[in-house]
Structure 1
Amino acid sequence: MLSILDRYILRQYLGTFGLLLLLFIPIGITVHLAEKIDKILENEVPFIEVLKYFLDFTIYFANLLFPLFLFLSVIWFTSKLANNTEVIAFLSSGVSYYRFLRPYMIGATIVCAFGFILGMYLAPKASKGFNEFHYQYLKKGKKDRDQSNVYRQINDNDYIYVSYFNVAEKSGSNFTLEHFEGNKMTYKLSAKRIRYNDKDSTYTLVNYAKRTIGEHEDVIVNESKLDTVFSFELEDLTPVEYIAETLNLPELNEFIAREKKRGSSYINRYEVVRYKRWSLPISAYILTIIAVAVSSVKRRGGMGVNLAIGIAIGMIFIFFDKIFGTMAQQSDFSPLVATWFPNFVFAILAIYLLRNAKR
């Protein structure tokens, strides 16, 4: 049974968090629109597509920054409680500090559930629409590094390459497939253009050539057009980051298991995305405790000091998250350690700050 104190703090917790989202997301959309409006007008993008894009952007933006919004919102309203001496009144009435934390933990649980659903299911779908619009309209005529020079190992023996892949049209240019037996290449397929056919799950190759390497001479076969099947999926031709971001949890687990069997060299990238979807919701608890511990003390400088400390801690958290995530993606550093290390460090900080605040 929630007391009046619980309901009051919980209402402030969720209300301030929601208000911060409603305030910052339109600002993010406005800045993004101002940056992209020239491209949107230049490519004559249909209005309904623009609306869908900004809906996807809203979900994508909210999922990306919700831990920071949560942190700042808790600091904001708890600082107000402290400045109005409400925290002192609560604790003076016989309420223990841990009992004072209970509604915050209930609020963190609600936000954690929201973050879990958002990150596991809603954000991947939004990310797919966001990226498809971005590649189709905003990067039209440009070769973004995420689209060009896609090189993948699809199993122990085969490697594929496309110099450019169009996600919306499901087609690529300068396609190559190389097959190895041990360290020796046995044949090589190439085509000026490759296109995926949804109807029968085949690929159409234009200006196709196959070179089979023999001991004494090579055999070359050329055709102007060829419809064929391959063992790899369409996703193998899409940008590395783009694939993982657009898969929900069951799809991502299945995809990673398949990639491990193929011996993909990009497993760490996919693992980082998967582990982050678990670590970010949990960070709601850690950041809530830190925010309460920092802002429940009435300071001489008022709310400004608490907000300054909170923003500094939030920036450090994001810095740790980005640095270790990049390390795992670009090296052999463990993705599990990389994604959970910031939570581990800040959990220790939360315990330390909580003990000091309790005193």
Structure 2
Amino acid sequence: MTRIDRFIFMRLLLATLMVLGVLVFIFIVIDFSENSDTFSDRGAELSEIWSRYYLNYIPEMIRLVSPVAVFVAVLLVAGQMSERLELTAIKGAGVSFYRFMVPFLLFATMVTGVLSYLDGFVIPGANDERFEFERQYLARGSDRIDRSRLFRQENEHTMLTVNYFDSRSAMGYHVRIFRFENDRVAEIVDASRMEWQPETEEWRLIRLERRLFTDEGIVRTSSHQADTTLTVLPQDMARSTNDIYRLTYPEIIDYIRSLERSGVGGVALPKVQFFGKLFYPFGTIVITLVGLGISTSNRRKGGRGVLLGTGLIVIFFYLIIMKIIEPFGASGQLDPLWAAAAPHLLFLLISFFLIWRTPK
């Protein structure tokens, strides 16, 4: 990196950290002012609010506002260099505009890598603790997709039905297991409940009755309890809209495969959420290109205020389009991958157009 590259990189870093700190601080102040009465009414201590809630919320806040912070930093740094004719001097020294973009893209790539790592391996654990705090003190239970009258396909020969499943205790009630053989029911197992055993990673059936259908008739047996090796996991039973945000990338892949194997519906939603998590950090690179195109295309009247206003309008529409398209992927009208990628591809094309119009 040249001296100019290091100068631009450090200015971007400082501006991003400043904007990020301000946004996170404002977010915490607003959230606390809205929830302080609820915290007090439910008996949450200040130390617990900070350690369990806000310390675990800050990584998610950083993930959400980092692209905005980088975008504002790019507008400030590139816009200021354009206004002060520093960009003109750099071009006059024989440096092309594309070479001028390099430190900006390097910085955006670094932020993208950090966000991807945080989102994939750090934030899920923090989110899990935060969701439990919200359920306990803010009454924000995660939105359950299903919790009663569950049907899960264990494999092509076995089907499981559960009348009600309690996710907190990992316990299902009124369980029935069907085993098929040659297109007919070969066995039915009824149990009053089933309990997940984390030590052995198996389900324990309590007060079960087994009916085996043979050519001679029905053979009935009963027992107080028995362990079974069902491949259905607790997270496959009581699903919620927050599941994806509690899991690391490898765990999400296993989770989606497990749902598909179990034969449940609504798998498009977690797929859209997963692809959205994957693409969101890369939006930092896209928004950096958009910021460069806006701030260097020409010198605007109104100064920095007009520049920031234009940039905030652009990123507002960026986020709105992401939210508009996501439900189409969740409902299956669009492929989940394309639903998550489309807003980023659209604004990538817009950034190419803006940079193409920039005087070289």
Structure 1 stretch 2-11 or stretch 60-69: which is displaced more? 60-69
Number of equivalent positions:
350
2-side partners of 1:259 and 1:236: how far apart?
6
Measured after TM superposition, the shift of residue 245 of structure 1 is 1.6
- 1:6 is matched with 5
Instruction: Report 1:1-359 matches (<5 A).
Output: 2-50=1-49, 51-139=51-139, 145-146=143-144, 149=147, 151=150, 153-155=152-154, 158=159, 160=161, 165-167=166-168, 170-171=169-170, 179=178, 191=192, 196-201=196-201, 228-229=227-228, 231=230, 232-296=232-296, 297-359=298-360
Measured after TM superposition, the shift of residue 116 of structure 1 is 1.4
**In the alignment, is the contact (CA less than 8 A) between 1:82 and 1:298 conserved in 2?**
yes
2-side partners of 1:219 and 1:288: how far apart?
70
CA gap of 1:4–1:116, structure 2 versus 1, over 3 A, is same
1-side partners of 2:64 and 2:129: how far apart?
16
2-side partners of 1:52 and 1:171: how far apart?
23
**In the alignment, is the contact (CA less than 8 A) between 2:153 and 2:261 conserved in 1?**
no
Letter in 2 for 1:351: F
Measured after TM superposition, the shift of residue 341 of structure 1 is 1.0
Letter in 2 for 1:43: R
**In the alignment, is the contact (CA less than 8 A) between 2:143 and 2:242 conserved in 1?**
no
Query: TM-score, normalised to structure 1's length?
Result: 0.82
1-side partners of 2:141 and 2:39: how far apart?
17
2-side partners of 1:113 and 1:62: how far apart?
14
Measured after TM superposition, the shift of residue 6 of structure 1 is 0.6
Structure 1 stretch 46-55 or stretch 24-33: which is displaced more? 46-55
Letter in 1 for 2:15: T
Letter in 1 for 2:356: R
Structure 1 stretch 175-184 or stretch 331-340: which is displaced more? 175-184
Measured after TM superposition, the shift of residue 228 of structure 1 is 4.9
CA gap of 1:183–1:45, structure 2 versus 1, over 3 A, is farther
CA gap of 1:209–1:289, structure 2 versus 1, over 3 A, is same
**In the alignment, is the contact (CA less than 8 A) between 2:203 and 2:229 conserved in 1?**
yes
Contiguous gaps of at least 5 residues in structure 2: none
2-side partners of 1:273 and 1:102: how far apart?
31
Q: Percent identity?
A: 19
2-side partners of 1:45 and 1:213: how far apart?
54
Query: TM-score, normalised to structure 2's length?
Result: 0.82
**In the alignment, is the contact (CA less than 8 A) between 1:159 and 1:179 conserved in 2?**
yes
